[in-house]
């Protein structure tokens, strides 16, 4: 059974899981995004809604911080915009300069990124991105731990897009609460958050998720019984 179908059924997801992969060049049979979005995470929204497409470096210039985490080399003017945005965030005491220096970032040269609903992806994703409520992602986090693919520090902080390079580099998984920019651009609900899994490990995680979901059903009955 398709991984996306299993994830949706086991967790009761409302949004489709998204497949994301980085490649050197555009793949055959996949169209380029028609219009550049204001943020890299906007492309997650498009893919969750059913679109399959790829983006080039220039399609990420509208979000300097997202471009930075994805390893996009910025033109001079956009790089200045990034510096200005970071400066504003520091002035607001939203972040400090040390935090900026420690942001996860892809090290490989940027070619293209392919986005698709996991259900339709005919490529092995670098990252599978799931959005859902706390209980749904609790189950997924327990499954990644059971599968041995969780990280020592499983929470990746702001910006949300930093979870992508973090998971690619670690080969594991990461929880992300979503930053304010992401919430504006993607429209996810206040109670939703993200969980990113290294694409090469998704089948192993799903195998354990089946066990974890069943175990939680049984344990729920046990704990409810103690209240009666």
pLDDT digit string, tens, across residues 50-107: 999 999 999 998 887 888 899 998 777 777 776 777 777 777 777 777 776 777 889 8
User: CA gyration radius for the chain?
Assistant: 18
Which carries the bigger pLDDT value, residue 32 or residue 154?
32
Confidence of residue 189 (pLDDT cuts 50, 70, 90): very high
Q: What is the mean pLDDT of residues 219-228?
A: 87
**Dihedral angle over CA of 206, 207, 213, 219, nearest 10:** -150
Supply the DSSP symbol for 115: E
Give the residue-averaged pLDDT of 21-32.
Answer: 93
| C-alpha torsion sign, points 27, 28, 30, 34 | positive
* DSSP assignments along 185-222, one per residue: HH---TT-EEEEEEGGGHHHHHHHHHHHHHHHHHHHHH
Q: What is the pLDDT of residue 155?
A: 54
pTM (predicted TM-score):
0.90
Residue spans per domain, the chain: 3-227
What is the reported pLDDT for 1? 57
pLDDT in tens, 97-148: 777 677 788 989 999 999 999 999 999 999 999 999 999 999 999 999 999 8
- Span 170-186, average pLDDT: 91
Q: Check: CB of residue 162 under 8 Å from CB of residue 156.
A: yes
Better pLDDT: 78 or 194:
194
- Per-residue pLDDT, 22: 97
Q: Can you tell me the mean pLDDT for 198-202?
A: 94
pLDDT of residue 31: 96
Which of the pair, 102 or 188, is modelled with greater confidence? 188
Average predicted confidence (pLDDT) for the chain: 89
Q: How sure is the predictor about 41, in pLDDT bands with cuts at 50, 70 and 90?
A: very high
Percent of the chain with pLDDT over 70: 95
User: What pLDDT, on a 0 to 100 scale, did the predictor assign at position 153?
Assistant: 55
Q: What is the mean pLDDT of residues 3-21?
A: 94
Distance, CA of 1 to chain centre? 23
């Amino acid at each position: 059974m398709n991984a996306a179908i299993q994830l949706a059924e086991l967790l009761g997801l409302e949004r489709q899981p998204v497949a994301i992969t980085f490649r050197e060049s555009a793949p055959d049979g996949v169209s380029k995004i028609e219009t550049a979005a204001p943020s890299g995470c906007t492309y997650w929204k498009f893919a969750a809604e059913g679109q399959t497409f790829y983006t080039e470096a220039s399609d990420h210039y509208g979000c300097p911080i997202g471009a930075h985490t994805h390893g996009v080399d910025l033109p001079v003017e956009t790089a200045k915009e990034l510096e200005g945005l970071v400066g504003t965030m520091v002035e607001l005491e939203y972040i400090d300069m040390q935090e900026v220096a420690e942001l996860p970032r892809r090290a490989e040269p940027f070619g293209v990124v392919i986005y698709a609903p996991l259900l339709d992806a005919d490529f092995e994703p670098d990252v599978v991105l799931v959005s859902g409520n706390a209980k749904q992602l609790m189950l997924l986090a327990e499954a990644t731990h059971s599968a041995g693919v969780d990280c020592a520090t499983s929470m990746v902080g702001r910006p949300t897009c930093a979870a992508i390079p973090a998971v690619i580099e670690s080969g594991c998984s990461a929880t992300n609460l979503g930053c304010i920019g992401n919430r504006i651009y993607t429209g996810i609900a206040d109670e939703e958050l993200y969980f990113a899994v290294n694409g090469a490990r998704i089948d192993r995680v799903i195998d354990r998720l089946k066990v974890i979901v069943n175990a939680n059903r049984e344990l729920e009955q046990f704990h409810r019984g103690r209240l009666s």
